[in-house]
A and B are shown apart, each in its own frame.
Chain A
């Protein structure tokens, strides 16, 4: 920000006591140097932050009309849809916002995987990110239970029952989670409480995530460190403007679903009030849980570990393995642009994740062209873990990466080879 701005006596008075203006300026303003070569894949982090804010605001409004009680939850949500002014809009934004949030964060994560954003010195930045996605999953799951439809109830039953796989104390844990002997009013009440709390935990984690980001600044498509001022441009106005444009494009996408296909991501069964005596014929989680759900169901009995426990371990490992990634990948080169072998395996891995999602959407005994989905799921699960635990370490040692450009500015002016893209 200009010196003139700081000469304003009011600004000066506040700044002397609380340097908030320079803090903002150094965080997202002209005082934050950013690599000049970021592409549009770098828009998704800020988009996710905006969606988090939208979710919190709509959520607070919805909570004003929602009743967390098994007898009234379903009706209170329908009252929001029918009687509360613009209640349908708040609810559809919140409902679809959940899907959007995951979509954005998944893209953000694949971006990090492709460009090696998890590597030294950004390991902690990545790890905090993994905790954010874990907190998001917990929040999304508990939020899904609140409308108290058939999918809500049975999702709560199935997911809480996962903990019964814990040896010895499993059943006690489940009873404790429920606050009773089945998913019931106490469960709904505590889920509501947590669903309201966790977004603020996510908010705090995002703050720490950004803090870590600002220490070593953004990674960039060529993965070469910032060498000097010639490599950077100020965040404002360049990236604020680029982010705003990206926000506009995203909002068109988001609002299309809200207004014209609000139930695209939803299951019809959730418009039937929860019935503890009847399970719907197909219980399918929300799309963003499908890959993890496929992993859960893929694991058979292995030696002394039951399929149930093995599935639960694998499902948690599905996300937690990401924590190890900074140390599994030994390659000195960050960006996949200069890693011909890794780049190909990245896309194989991406397709593997989609296959897992597709398997998760189908019943395990269903068959695809003569191949049982169970077997497809098992193969995809094995590949998923092999990618992290075997392929990435091996590739990083065996692969001979191409030479990245000397610097960001050299890459931008085209004095060095532009790499693969």
Chain B
């Protein structure tokens, strides 16, 4: 029996080693770990932070970064009412058409529309940003090692002067956490870069936290539902497995 347990552990260790391998292999910049409300088995998003994060996105990020996978109607998931969603959507313009004359036309966005993008296509985005393409943010937290930690570190990791001996390219900025340390995006946030509707003090850290929370949600909008269902499924399986074990023992008892 003990051997069995040992072997099981070995197998599990094997799967862990394999899976953890690439993470260990990543370049060795240590991300400061932060406490997020949405980690852990029971973690949920902080609604206030999410809603502030939306404000940060709309007022700061949206001028360059798209959020293509999100629809305005999805904002119901972070606690906005239908009327609030309609109002938020109506502030953006989306292209629709063709109309009866065969022309494309702009109209205010509706809740069923995806978030309006700042540029019509990637080339236009590059042309307006010195050749650098501001990536879509919908999946950013899932698409980077470290997730929300990375995002927060990146947003607060700018240095005005690169360390001695580091040559910075033209129009580039030094960032401790960006791969290669040269990033085209200028420091996007600073203290009081936004004025929060709910009166929260908008320190740079607070802004970074809020936008990271918001983007963690846009990357995994199913997170809360997933964990809620997961707890039920696991509890059910544990009960069922215990019962199955009892039946198995009963049946096998005759044999010995």
Instruction: List chain A positions with a Cβ less than 8 A from chain B.
Output: 36, 39-40, 75, 78, 81-82, 88-89, 92, 99, 103, 107, 233, 237-238, 241-242, 244-245, 247-249, 251-252, 255-256, 258-260, 262-265, 267-269, 271-272, 281-282, 284, 287-288, 290, 350, 354, 357-358, 360-363, 366, 421
B164 shortest CB reach to chain A, Å: 26
A354 to B229, CA, bound (A): 34
B191 shortest CB reach to chain A, Å: 30
Let me know if B234 and A256 touch, CB within 8 A.
Answer: yes
Residues of B within 8 A of A358 (CB): 17-18, 21
- Which chain A residue has the least Cβ–Cβ distance from B11? A107
Let me know if B247 and A241 touch, CB within 8 A.
Answer: yes
Let me know if B255 and A241 touch, CB within 8 A.
Answer: no
Query: Do A258 and B230 form a contact, CB below 8 Å, given A252-B238, A268-B142, A357-B14?
Result: yes
Pairs A-B, 6 closest by C-beta atoms: A361-B21, A259-B230, A248-B241, A287-B18, A271-B143, A88-B222
Instruction: Flag whether B245 is at the interface (Cβ < 8 A).
Output: yes
- Which chain A residue has the least Cβ–Cβ distance from B138? A78
A147 shortest CB reach to chain B, Å: 11
Let me know if B230 and A255 touch, CB within 8 A.
Answer: yes
B114 shortest CB reach to chain A, Å: 10
Let me know if B41 and A260 touch, CB within 8 A.
Answer: yes
A421 to B237, CA, bound (A): 31
Let me know if A81 and B222 touch, CB within 8 A.
Answer: yes
- Which chain A residue has the least Cβ–Cβ distance from B69? A78
Let me know if A245 and B25 touch, CB within 8 A.
Answer: no
Question: CB within 8 Å of A: which of B129-146?
Answer: 135, 138-139, 142-145
- Which chain A residue has the least Cβ–Cβ distance from B242? A248
Let me know if B69 and A354 touch, CB within 8 A.
Answer: no
B248 contact from A242, A262, A361, Cβ within 8 A: A242
A-B contact count (CB 8 A): 124
A199 to B137, CA, bound (A): 35
Let me know if B219 and A271 touch, CB within 8 A.
Answer: yes
Query: Do A36 and B139 form a contact, CB below 8 Å, given A81-B222, A245-B245?
Result: no
A4 to B244, CA, bound (A): 27
A178 to B221, CA, bound (A): 35
- Which chain A residue has the least Cβ–Cβ distance from B135? A272
B14 contact from A263, A264, A284, A354, Cβ within 8 A: A354
A263 to B23, CA, bound (A): 13
- Which chain A residue has the least Cβ–Cβ distance from B252? A238
Residues of A within 8 A of B17 (CB): 354, 357-358
A282 to B10, CA, bound (A): 27
Query: Do A272 and B143 form a contact, CB below 8 Å, given A40-B4, A256-B234?
Result: yes
Instruction: Flag whether B163 is at the interface (Cβ < 8 A).
Output: no
Question: CB within 8 Å of A: which of B169-189?
Answer: 179
A255 contact from B15, B237, B255, Cβ within 8 A: B237
Let me know if B251 and A241 touch, CB within 8 A.
Answer: yes
A360 to B139, CA, bound (A): 27
A350 to B19, CA, bound (A): 17
Query: Do A259 and B18 form a contact, CB below 8 Å, given A40-B4, A248-B244?
Result: no
Let me know if A269 and B143 touch, CB within 8 A.
Answer: yes
Instruction: Flag whether B227 is at the interface (Cβ < 8 A).
Output: yes
Residues of B within 8 A of A255 (CB): 230, 233-234, 237
B15 contact from A88, A89, A103, A256, Cβ within 8 A: A103
- Which chain B residue has the least Cβ–Cβ distance from A75? B69
Let me know if B241 and A252 touch, CB within 8 A.
Answer: yes
- Which chain B residue has the least Cβ–Cβ distance from A233? B255
Let me know if B22 and A267 touch, CB within 8 A.
Answer: yes
Let me know if B22 and A361 touch, CB within 8 A.
Answer: yes
Chain A proximity mask over B1-28: 1 for CB below 8 Å, otherwise 0: 0011000001100110111011011100
A366 to B22, CA, bound (A): 12
B25 contact from A238, A241, A251, A362, Cβ within 8 A: A362
Let me know if A245 and B241 touch, CB within 8 A.
Answer: yes
Chain A proximity mask over B212-251: 1 for CB below 8 Å, otherwise 0: 0000000101100011011101100110110011011001
Residues of B within 8 A of A245 (CB): 241, 244-245, 247-248
26 interchain pairs, CB-CB under 8 A: A92-B226, A238-B251, A242-B248, A245-B248, A247-B244, A248-B244, A249-B241, A251-B237, A252-B237, A255-B237, A258-B230, A259-B230, A259-B233, A259-B234, A260-B227, A268-B147, A271-B142, A272-B135, A281-B179, A284-B21, A288-B18, A358-B21, A361-B18, A361-B21, A361-B25, A366-B25
